[in-house]
Amino acid sequence: MGDAWHERAMPIPFIDLQAQRKRLGQPLEDAILKVVRSGAYIMGPEIAEFEAALAAFGQAPFALSCGSGTEALVLPLMAWGIGPGDAVFCPSFTFAATAEVMPLVGASPVFVDIDPATYNMDAASLDAAMAAVKREGRLTPRAVIAVDLFGQPADYPAIAAVARKHGLKLIADSAQGFGCTLGGHHPIHWADVATTSFFPAKPLGCYGDGGAVLSKDERLHDLLVSLRVHGQAVKSDIEGKTFEHDPKYLNVRVGLNSRMDTIQAAVLLQKLSIFADEIRARNRVADRYAAGLGDLVTTPKVIDGGVSVWAQYTIETDDRDGLAQHLKAQGIPSAVYYPIPIHRQGVYSGYPTAPAGLPVTEAKADQVISLPMHAYLTEDDQDQVIAAVRSFVKKNAAAA
Ligand SMILES: *Cc1c(COP(=O)(O)O)cnc(C)c1O
């Protein structure tokens, strides 16, 4: 009893999904109920409608909805036949799923260091890792997965140049960054595919699990459509052929079941309608944090020409645990993404890293801490967060 959390009228949420739900109101609930009443729970009309809307938003010719952001990464690796003996390059400072999909298809992740200012993949480290893998000759470089960490675009011009130089496919893992742009372009402008996740806490989330693969090659999209549903025969498999049975039950390759539920597409159609406005609101919150904290702590730096969707607002401090405790005592939640880089985790520790190691990744993993960030953070609540961080930094400075 009597702790700070209970004394506040309302705790400050880290991410406020309920404020968004209230804003979307009755039309959101009607859209869900419509699917419930229609009976079209799997691949109902909302799926194609949402895929078209998502493709338009992300400036991609094609979009495929799927079961999760993880499967959105697995599907293109499967489509390209990436497997045992193949190397796929990715950052280690990311959510585990980015690297998990390589062993899932039998391939090896190769971990690359990050840029100290943006936390995103360092193209020079990528180039060095690629050269080392080629020199060693044990693995065949096949693809690069760049991550739009915390919502901001990776350095796609530099990363794509390295990928192209070595003839590799480029995936933009935009699970945290869907909607981000660089020079006005979405990541698919440079990448072969861009993937995203609709896990509820992502900037564009649904009410369960879901994901999507954006692409620009019709043959690849067709293959993804097949792989999403058990390798079913698709247009390009059937064209010009005749069949004894309904080709719907012809399974021409090994795939999986990675359909998105119709209800989630209905939810996402509603959420997508306000997403651009929410991105602007998140940027206003980020600007206020920078103005309120930038003189005392290291605040995020977005790449020149980039627009972040601010999945996280992440600052750096040498006393992260102290700051987290100080915030918690005032009812302010915080989170650490990511305390243990992937290459330091048991099951991933045997995979190769860039030849110079990952010194930036390891340093940042000890310093980062993320503050409440969402489109509905009020100025009053944000001012409390800012005041709490400032009082902690000043107290520490006085003690030092
Ligand atoms: C969340 C996330 C994923 C995985 O998405 P799920 O929908 O949870 O499977 C992949 N990559 C990154 C960078 C993520 O943040």
- Domain tally for the chain? 1
pLDDT in tens, 225-283: 999 999 999 988 888 888 888 877 889 999 999 999 999 999 999 999 999 999 999 99
Q: For the purposes of burial, counting CB atoms within 10 Å of the CB of 100, is it exposed (0-12), middle (13-18) or buried (19 or more)?
A: middle
pLDDT band at 110 (very low <50, low <70, confident <90, very high): very high
Encode pLDDT of 114-155 as tens digits: 999 999 999 999 999 999 999 999 999 999 999 999 999 999
Helices (H), 294-358: 320-328
Taking CA atoms only, the protein residue closest to ligand 1 atom 10 is 97
- Centre of ligand 1 from the C-alpha of residue 175, in Å: 5
pTM over 0.85? The answer is yes
The domain in which residue 32 lies consists of 1-400
With a 6 A CB cut-off, is 173 part of the ligand 1 pocket? yes
Dihedrals φ, ψ of 101, to 5°?
Answer: -70, -20
Q: How far is the CA of 196 from the centre of ligand 1 (A)?
A: 7
pLDDT attached to residue 9: 56
Position in ligand 1 atom list of the atom nearest CA 197: 7
Q: What pLDDT, in 10s, does the model give residues 304-360?
A: 999 999 999 999 999 999 999 999 999 999 999 999 999 999 999 999 999 999 999
336, with CB counted inside 10 A (0-12, 13-18, 19+), is: middle
Residue 5: is its pLDDT beyond 70? Answer: no
Is the Cβ atom of 70 under 6 angstroms away from ligand 1?
yes
CA of 197 to the centre of ligand 1 (A): 6
Instruction: Please give the residue that has the higher pLDDT: either 174 or 248.
Output: 174
Given a contact cutoff of 8 angstroms between Cβ atoms, the answer to whether 111 and 90 are in contact is yes
pLDDT in tens, 184-233: 999 999 999 999 999 999 999 999 999 999 999 999 999 999 999 999 99
From the CB of 94, is ligand 1 less than 6 Å away?
yes
Distance CA 266, CA 385 (A): 35
Q: E strands within 113-182?
A: 140-147, 169-173, 181-182
Instruction: Give the Å distance between the CA of 360 and the centre of ligand 1.
Output: 22
- Calpha distance 156→152 (Å, rounded): 11
Ligand 1 pocket test: pick from 66, 73, 197 the residue with the most ligand atoms within 8 Å of its Cβ: 197
192 lines ligand 1 (CB under 6 A): no
What is the 8-class DSSP label of residue 309?
-
CATH number at residue 386: 3.40.640.10
Rounded to an integer, what distance in angstroms lies between the CA atom of residue 229 and that of residue 231?
A: 6
Helices (H), 88-143: 97-104, 123-136
In this predicted model, what pLDDT tens digit does every residue of 37-62 receive, in sequence order? 999 999 999 999 999 999 999 999 99
Structure tokens at 22: 């209230």
Going from the Cα of 58 to the center of ligand 1, the distance in angstroms, rounded, reads 18
**Across residues 95-118, what is the average pLDDT?**
98
List the structure tokens of 153.
């675009």
